[in-house]
């Protein structure tokens, strides 16, 4: 009960990196994500050898994961959480990790969606992405916005040498990252137990 009462206090403060506000960061990350989606309409996977190998690995992984199993839900959840945490930790490297992750994930959505739309299977696309995407996409964009803010703060600190400010921003970033991590729980549940039923119903 003590933890539950402390939750509102945990997020009471306003999040601002040392450079940009959260609102500005969300606008930037949403723009990068949308740019990735648009790029997927014009840049096929054949143009990127490393992406072809990544897609093949994802296809093999999807075949080993079984729906309606708690282990699958846990795996999906931990995979998504680890992606956000790694992006946060590596963001000081010129903010390349958050930007690349946003562009890549947007591109993957287009890669999956375009063939379905072309073959008139838009309902499968909606069933396969929308239910869990309602939680997962906002969590992903929020998490990457926090990572980008920390990365920009780290770069700013290199110039100002005020290391105490960076420590404050880092722990503040971790607290706000918890929001994204919480949103990933229903996303993993829906992707494991609801999405397969919807797809099976439409097939």
How many domains does the chain fold into? Answer: 1
pLDDT band at 55 (very low <50, low <70, confident <90, very high): low
* 143, part of any domain: yes
- Decide if 1 is inside a domain: no
In a domain? residue 2: no
* Predicted structure pTM score: 0.87
Residue 104 inside a domain? The answer is: yes
Summarised one tens digit per residue, pLDDT across range 85-128 is: 999 999 999 999 999 999 999 998 998 888 888 888 889 889 99
d(CA 157, CA 164): 9
Written as one string, the DSSP assignment of 90-105 is HTTTTTHHHHHHHHHH
Percent of the chain with pLDDT over 70: 83
- Residue with the bigger pLDDT between 49 and 28: it is 28
Q: Is residue 3 part of a domain?
A: no
In this prediction, residues 159-167 reach a mean pLDDT of: 81
Q: Is residue 5 part of a domain?
A: no
Q: How far apart are CA 71 and CA 93, in angstroms?
A: 34
Domain with 160, as residue range(s), is 17-202
- SS3 category, 21: strand
Measured between its terminal Cα atoms, the distance across the chain in Å is 45
- Of 160 and 11, which is predicted with more confidence? 160
Q: For residue 116, tell me if it sits in a domain.
A: yes
């Amino acid at each position: 009960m003590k933890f539950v009462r402390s939750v509102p206090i945990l997020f009471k403060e306003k999040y601002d990196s040392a450079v940009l506000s959260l609102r500005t960061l969300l606008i930037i990350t949403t723009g990068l994500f949308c740019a990735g989606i648009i790029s997927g309409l014009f840049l096929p996977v054949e143009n990127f050898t490393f992406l072809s190998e990544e897609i093949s690995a994802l296809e093999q992984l999807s075949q080993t994961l079984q729906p309606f199993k708690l282990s699958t839900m846990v795996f999906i959840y931990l995979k998504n959480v680890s992606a956000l945490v790694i992006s946060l930790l590596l963001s000081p490297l010129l903010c390349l990790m958050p930007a690349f992750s946003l562009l890549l994930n947007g591109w993957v959505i287009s890669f999956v969606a375009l063939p379905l739309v072309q073959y008139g299977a838009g309902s499968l696309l909606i069933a396969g992405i929308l239910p869990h995407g309602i939680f997962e996409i906002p969590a992903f964009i929020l998490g990457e916005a926090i990572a980008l803010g920390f990365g920009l703060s780290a770069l700013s600190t290199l110039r100002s040498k005020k290391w105490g400010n960076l420590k404050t921003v880092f722990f503040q970033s971790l607290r706000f990252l918890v929001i994204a991590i919480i949103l990933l729980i229903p996303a993993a549940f829906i992707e494991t137990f609801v999405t397969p039923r919807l797809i099976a119903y439409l097939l």
